[in-house]
Amino acid sequence: MRDRPEDPATAEAIRAFTDWAVSEGQDLAAPLGYVPLPQTLRERVAPALAPAL
C-alpha cells in the first residue's frame, strides 16, 4: 500500500479486505475451491498491514 493513498477510503477498504482474507476468510477458501494460505504467510501479512492501520 502507498504511504499516502490518493483515496483514503479505498485504501481502508483494501486494507480491511486483505485483513479479512488472511483471517476469517481462510475458512471459506477450501469450500470455494481455493487453497488456504499457509500460516507462515498469514503471519507475515499482519505486520505489513499494520502501517496502514
- Looking at residue 3, its pLDDT comes to 66
Count Cβ atoms below 10 Å from residue 11 Cβ, excluding itself.
15
- Looking at residue 45, its pLDDT comes to 86
For residue 13, give every residue at least 6 positions away whose Cβ sits within 8 Å of its Cβ, in sequence order, or none: none
CB 45 within 8 A of CB 34: no
pTM above 0.85, yes or no: no
- Looking at residue 52, its pLDDT comes to 53
Q: Which long-range contacts (CB under 8 A, 24 or more apart) does 39-48 make?
A: 45/18, 46/19, 46/22
Tens of pLDDT, residue by residue, the chain (53 residues): 556 778 889 888 988 999 899 999 999 999 999 999 999 999 888 788 776 55
Residue with cell 485483513: 19
